[in-house]
Each structure stands twice: as C-alpha cells, then as structure tokens.
C-alpha cells in the first residue's frame, strides 16, 4: 500500500520571499511561514507559534516573488521533504520543509491593511497561473475555506 504525503497549511509570512536560481536557471523560492494556536490555561491566554519552511519552484516561485510580502496570509498545499547535508564542521544536519505545489492568497497582510485595495488579489494571481500550462496541479477554482476573523488577532506580527 502506498503512503500519503500531503500538507495543507495556512499562515503568515514572517519575512520577504527569498528567490534564487539553480545553475540550470530554474527559480526556487523559500518562504518562512508562521502558524499560531492559542488556548486558555488557568484563566490566562497562552499562544504557541510554529515556523515552517516552504519551498516553491518555477512559476510558483516567480509568482511568490511578484505578489507576496512579509505579513501576507497564504494557503499552501504540498508535501513534506527532509534533506540532509554536512555543515562546515563536518556534522550531518537535517531540515524538514514543505515543497508547495498550490498557493492561494488569503488577504493583503497586516502591514498593508490601510492600502488593501491596491494589493494584488487572487484574481490577478489566478490570471497569471492560468497562463502556465506546465503547472497541472493548480486548480484556480478550488478556494480554501475562509479563515475566522479571530485568527488574525492571534498572529504575533
């Protein structure tokens, strides 16, 4: 029986997207995505934030560079991948990251709330994606469920 390796994550960007090119010229983008959860313990609100490394390739990397900014909330679907390498001291290091194949914008980000109308929206993004015949995993008609308004108040930035 085959396994399933699927991740769905909704969070805010904690930094600007980092885009670089491989030696073959293919773009790859790294996102730092924060997810938070909060609860009440002994009458006091507590919160935990997890940071996730998301990797986007090719057209998604280009679109992330074009549209995403720190603070923007995004929906990402993809798979988990663990890589290893040796550091400068010869120690074996590991990292686990999400390799995204679906990206949706949820809002304009807290930093740009006053200027929200000027932010690109999913219609702009979907128009760019529809011109990409290589991305067969993208479905512009599948929208993630909307995020409750109270979730935005729990984000630490």
The C-alpha atoms of residue 127 and residue 136 are separated, in whole angstroms, by 15
CB atoms within 10 A of CB 54: 24
Average per-residue pLDDT for the chain: 78
Residue 67 tokens, joined: 């549209």
35 contacts 52 by C-beta, under 8 angstroms: yes
What pLDDT digit, counting tens, does each position of 53-97 carry? 999 999 999 999 999 999 999 999 999 999 998 999 999 999 999
**CATH code for residues 7-153:** 2.40.50.140
Residue 20's pLDDT band, with cuts at 50, 70 and 90, is very high
DSSP 148: P
140 contacts 129 by C-beta, under 8 angstroms: yes
- pTM for this structure? 0.67
In this prediction, residues 132-157 reach a mean pLDDT of: 42
């Amino acid at each position: 029986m085959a396994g399933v390796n699927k991740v769905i994550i909704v969070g805010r960007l904690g930094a600007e997207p980092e885009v670089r090119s491989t030696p073959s010229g293919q773009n790859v983008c790294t996102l730092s995505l924060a997810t938070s959860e909060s609860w009440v313990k002994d009458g006091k609100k507590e919160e935990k934030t997890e940071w996730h490394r998301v990797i986007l390739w090719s057209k998604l990397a280009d679109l992330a560079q074009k549209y995403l900014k720190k603070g923007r909330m995004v929906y990402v679907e993809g798979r988990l991948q663990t890589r290893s390498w040796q550091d400068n001291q010869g120690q074996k290091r590991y990292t686990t990251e999400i390799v995204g194949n679906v990206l949706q914008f949820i809002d304009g980000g807290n930093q740009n709330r006053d200027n929200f109308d000027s932010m690109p929206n999913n219609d702009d993004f979907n128009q760019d994606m529809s011109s990409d015949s290589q991305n067969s995993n993208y479905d512009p008609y599948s929208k993630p469920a909307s995020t409750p308004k109270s979730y935005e108040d729990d984000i630490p930035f």
